[in-house]
Amino acid sequence: MDSKSAGVLPGTLDLLILKAISLERLHGYGVLLRIKQISGEALDVPQGSLYPALNRLEHQGLIESEWGESENRRRAKYYRLTRAGRRRFEEDAAGWERLAAAMQAALSATPDEA
């Protein structure tokens, strides 16, 4: 991890995975790359965290997988959102947006607003 990247906050990995997969069908390593890309290189997800999360999300019925061939002609498991996964993503994203707005308001408070 370089000085510009950070680990993900607890509770955010599933949401980030769902977001990445909502953009396009991706294989596991592609999910890592997409999260890094959409976060402006700020978030770095360890592979050791990603694959258990993908398995968990698939077990919960939020994503589906199928085998395919990657860009380098290797066999890879590709993931896509299910209808339930899209609903969960939309609900969780709305919750995080509300939390982020509340945090922004709290952090920008000045002494005269107390």
Domain total in the chain: 1
Judge whether 64 lies within some domain: yes
**What confidence tier does 27 reach under pLDDT thresholds 50, 70, 90?**
very high
Above 70 in pLDDT, residue 3?
no
In a domain, 5, yes or no: no
Q: Has residue 94 been placed in a domain?
A: yes
In tens, the pLDDT along 39-87 reads 999 998 998 999 999 999 999 999 999 999 988 899 999 999 999 999 9
pTM value is 0.86
Would residue 7 count as lying in a domain? no
DSSP string, the chain: --TT-BPPPTT-HHHHHHHHHHHS-EEHHHHHHHHHHHTTT-B---HHHHHHHHHHHHHTTSEEEEEEE-TTS-EEEEEEE-HHHHHHHHHHHHHHHHHHHHHHHHHT--GGG-
Domain harbouring 53, CATH code: 1.10.10.10
Q: Residue 30 has what pLDDT?
A: 95
Residue 40 belongs to what domain range? 13-106
The answer to whether residue 111 sits within a structural domain is no
Q: Is residue 29 part of a domain?
A: yes
